């Protein structure tokens, strides 16, 4: 199954003025449109998008490139995704046109109605649908984004919904909105229409075919015992990575946080996990021959960024090294809420050796800043007094001195 994201370009001055831009060259996003595109990129940053295609018009390319930058992708141009050819109406205000007979026909029964010197909506549908179908076919079991324009997208959507093209004006497609289709063997399934919010974690997966064993039971059940990794964020590389704690000693909440551009990803961790991560980074750097260098970090440099909005609580942490990129990677797995979940959410932070060395030093300091550890029982000691089960066997409170 392929997940198809149909995206309308963000705002520009023609949209603001209610003017038909058509294929007018040089129509870029305005300030509002760039803010919309930035917000769109943040909403889609957690999805593992594999390819981004765009109309050749600047307003669409601007939008596509903003999204593509978060995924380190190039934008692929397809002329068939372009805006409706508006002919003699190019540059005109809609208020100048909405009383004409042609405009009235476009609203009531648009199929076969050509804009003066331009296209009809069925001609637009005839070029955009095959282009999208080819894109989907080229990306089986992947998430792919297509950036286009309002009417061409509406023409494609009604096709995939099996609607009468004459009803396409009943749809609303807003600037920087996302419409999501699941494109499987059973036909397109609409998941979101004109969405302007953060999408849930999506993962394109091969459609499963049931195989029966000799006794008639379904095969492959053993394959379901290991949950699939659902990568929510893949910050490669981070611009900043840190760990921190909020609260009084004994009541602190620990966080692991990475940032890439405007995207901030915060995870809740246990104190022991942060301590183990610090030790693991030191050991890995030592094996890589980079463990002897000293690093100076300040509390200000390593502060947690606001807002602190945890994505999930960490269940397990992994640490690795990519020799090709020269980057270390932290892989954080969500603490599952049920036994044997079918999927587990994952966040990956990719960082340089210097960034990881700074994280290790700061994380060690953060852990040490809490309650001291009792040398007898290994438990943290509260300022009000410590109940030590190994102190003469009496369990008396041992005050801190």
Give the CA distances from residue 177 to residues 44, 148, 339, in Å, rounded to whole numbers and listed in that order: 11, 11, 36
The reply to whether 125 falls in a domain is yes
The residue out of 175, 195, 215 marking a domain boundary is: 195
What digits encode the pLDDT tens for the residues 173-184? 999 999 999 999
Assign residue 190 the CATH number of its domain.
3.40.50.1240
- CA dihedral sign of residues 347, 353, 354, 360: positive
Instruction: Give residue 322's pLDDT.
Output: 86
Same domain assignment for residues 395 and 294? no
What digits encode the pLDDT tens for the residues 218-258? 444 444 445 677 888 999 999 999 999 998 877 899 999 99
Same domain assignment for residues 144 and 260? no
Mean pLDDT across 330-340 = 84
Mean pLDDT across 377-382 = 61
| Residue 43 confidence (pLDDT) above 70 | yes
Same domain assignment for residues 308 and 349? yes
Same domain assignment for residues 337 and 392? no
Q: Which range among 15-19, 107-111, 156-160 has the greatest average pLDDT?
A: 156-160
| Parent domain of 98 | 2-195
Position with higher pLDDT, 339 vs 1: 1
Assign residue 271 the CATH number of its domain.
3.30.2450
Longest dimension (CA), the chain: 98
Mean pLDDT across 279-287 = 88
Instruction: Give residue 195's pLDDT.
Output: 92
Position with higher pLDDT, 165 vs 388: 165
Instruction: Give residue 20's pLDDT.
Output: 94
Round to whole Å and give the CA distance between 7 and 171: 14
The reply to whether 307 falls in a domain is yes
The reply to whether 146 falls in a domain is yes
Give the CA distances from residue 127 to residues 107, 118, 124, 184, 185, in Å, rounded to whole numbers and listed in that order: 21, 14, 5, 21, 22
Instruction: Give residue 68's pLDDT.
Output: 94
The reply to whether 202 falls in a domain is no
Position with higher pLDDT, 382 vs 49: 49
Same domain assignment for residues 253 and 188? no
User: SS3 of 333, please?
Assistant: strand
The reply to whether 318 falls in a domain is yes
Same domain assignment for residues 300 and 154? no
- For 307-384, where are the alpha helices, taking DSSP H only? 353-368
Of the candidate ranges 232-241, 335-344, 389-398, the one whose mean pLDDT is the lowest: 389-398
Same domain assignment for residues 253 and 119? no
Instruction: Give residue 102's pLDDT.
Output: 93
Q: Which range among 330-334, 370-374, 382-386 has the greatest average pLDDT?
A: 330-334
Report the percent of the chain where pLDDT is more than 90.
62
Number of compact structural domains in the chain:
3
Position with higher pLDDT, 288 vs 194: 194
Same domain assignment for residues 22 and 53? yes
The reply to whether 282 falls in a domain is yes
The reply to whether 100 falls in a domain is yes
Instruction: Give residue 371's pLDDT.
Output: 61
180: nearest Cα among 153, 152, 140: 153
Same domain assignment for residues 366 and 396? no
Give the CA distances from residue 34 to residues 151, 175, 176, 208, 218, in Å, rounded to whole numbers and listed in that order: 21, 11, 10, 41, 51
Same domain assignment for residues 128 and 6? yes
Mean pLDDT across 380-401 = 55
Q: Which range among 137-146, 204-213, 366-375 has the greatest average pLDDT?
A: 137-146
The reply to whether 210 falls in a domain is no
Q: How does DSSP classify residue 201?
A: P
Round to whole Å and give the CA distance between 230 and 205: 11
Same domain assignment for residues 319 and 396? no
Residue 70 binned pLDDT confidence (cut-offs 50, 70, 90): confident
Of the candidate ranges 120-124, 212-216, 277-281, 291-295, the one whose mean pLDDT is the lowest: 212-216
Mean pLDDT across the chain, nearest whole number?
86
Position with higher pLDDT, 184 vs 204: 184
The residue out of 146, 174, 195 marking a domain boundary is: 195
The residue out of 172, 195, 218 marking a domain boundary is: 195
CA atoms within 13 A on the CB side of 63: 33
What digits encode the pLDDT tens for the residues 181-195? 999 988 999 999 999
Same domain assignment for residues 255 and 339? yes
């Amino acid at each position: 199954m392929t997940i198809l994201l149909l995206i309308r370009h963000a705002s520009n001055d023609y949209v603001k003025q209610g003017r038909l831009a058509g294929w007018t060259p040089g129509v870029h996003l305005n300030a509002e449109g760039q803010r919309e595109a930035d917000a769109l990129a943040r909403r889609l940053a957690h999805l593992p998008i594999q390819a981004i295609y765009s109309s050749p018009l600047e307003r669409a390319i601007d939008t596509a490139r903003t999204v593509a930058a978060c995924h380190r992708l190039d934008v692929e141009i397809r002329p068939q995704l372009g805006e409706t050819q508006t002919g003699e109406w190019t540059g005109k205000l809609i208020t100048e046109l909405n009383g004409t007979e042609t405009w009235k026909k476009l609203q009531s029964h648009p199929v076969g109605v050509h804009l003066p010197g331009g296209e009809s909506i069925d001609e637009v549908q005839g070029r955009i649908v095959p282009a999208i179908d080819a894109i989907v076919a080229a990306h089986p079991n992947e998430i792919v984004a297509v950036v286009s324009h309002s009417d061409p997208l509406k023409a494609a959507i009604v096709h995939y919904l099996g609607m009468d093209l004459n009803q396409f004006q009943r749809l609303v497609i807003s600037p920087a909105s996302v419409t999501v289709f699941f494109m499987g063997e059973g036909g397109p399934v609409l998941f979101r229409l004109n969405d302007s919010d953060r999408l849930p974690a999506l993962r394109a997966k091969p459609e499963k075919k049931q195989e029966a064993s000799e006794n008639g039971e379904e095969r492959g059940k053993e394959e379901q015992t290991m949950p699939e990794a659902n990568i929510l964020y893949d910050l490669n590389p981070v611009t900043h990575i840190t760990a921190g704690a909020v609260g009084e000693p004994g009541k602190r909440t620990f966080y692991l946080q990475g940032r890439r551009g405007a995207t901030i990803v915060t995870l809740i961790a246990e104190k022991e996990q942060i301590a183990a991560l610090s030790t693991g980074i030191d050991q890995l750097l030592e094996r890589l021959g980079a463990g002897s260098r000293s690093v100076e970090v300040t509390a200000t440099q390593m502060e947690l960024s606001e807002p602190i909005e945890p994505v999930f609580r960490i269940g397990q942490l992994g640490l690795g090294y990519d020799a090709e990129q020269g980057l270390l990677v932290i892989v954080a797995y969500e603490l599952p809420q049920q036994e044997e979940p079918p999927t587990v959410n994952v966040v990956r932070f990719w960082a340089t050796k210097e960034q990881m060395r700074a994280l290790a030093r700061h994380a060690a300091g953060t852990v040490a800043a809490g309650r001291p550890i009792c040398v007898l029982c290994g438990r943290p000691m509260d300022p009000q007094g410590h109940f030590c089960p190994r102190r003469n066997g009496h369990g008396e409170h041992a005050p801190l001195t």
